[in-house]
Amino acid sequence: MNTDHRPVYIDLRKINLPVSALISITHRLAGLYVFFITLPLMLALIYFSTESEDSFNELSLFLRDHKFILGLIVLSFCILWYHILSGVRHLIMDAHIGESLLAAKYSAIFVISFWTISTSLVFWKIFS
């Protein structure tokens, strides 16, 4: 007889995770995105923008004409910014600062709020 009453099939949509757990999960997902998408994109942009003056001008004209691709590039760097902010939060907590549940909740809310505001300002400045 099984006395273990843990759920076998977990429906992640029905679990109410605390905001500090959500920021931890999204930090890891952002790290994957940064490694596999933002980093190669950044290296390609550096390569094509520093190859020659003509390649720089071609790249800037291409990005000026293709706002959707520019938006994806900006979004990739905003995800890098989120990863940096949440990583600094984790490093501060590793230093035993703000480890309580309440402090972790408020620091997670601060990181998400600060990232949302700064990302909105970046998109507004670029696309206005």
Question: C-alpha distances in angstroms, 17 versus 14, 49, 105?
Answer: 9, 43, 11
**What confidence category does residue 5 fall into, taking pLDDT thresholds of 50, 70 and 90?**
confident
**What confidence category does residue 2 fall into, taking pLDDT thresholds of 50, 70 and 90?**
low
pTM listed for this prediction: 0.86
CA-nearest of 112, 32, 41, 39 to 71 is 41
Q: Mean pLDDT across the chain, nearest whole number?
A: 92
User: Is residue 43, in this structure, part of any structural domain at all?
Assistant: yes
User: Is residue 90, in this structure, part of any structural domain at all?
Assistant: yes
Q: Which residue has the higher pLDDT, 1 or 66?
A: 66
User: Is residue 12, in this structure, part of any structural domain at all?
Assistant: no
CA-nearest of 86, 77, 95, 5 to 37 is 77
**What confidence category does residue 93 fall into, taking pLDDT thresholds of 50, 70 and 90?**
very high
User: Is residue 3, in this structure, part of any structural domain at all?
Assistant: no
The residues, ordered by sequence, that sit 6+ positions from 82 with a Cβ below 8 Å of its Cβ are 26, 27, 30, 115, 119
User: Is residue 4, in this structure, part of any structural domain at all?
Assistant: no
User: Is residue 91, in this structure, part of any structural domain at all?
Assistant: yes
Q: How many domains does the chain have?
A: 1
User: What CATH number is given to the structural domain containing 102?
Assistant: 1.20.1300.10
Structural domain that includes position 49: 19-127
Q: What pLDDT is stored for residue 1 in this prediction?
A: 58
pLDDT tens digits for 16-72? 889 999 999 999 999 999 999 999 999 999 999 999 999 999 999 999 999 999 999
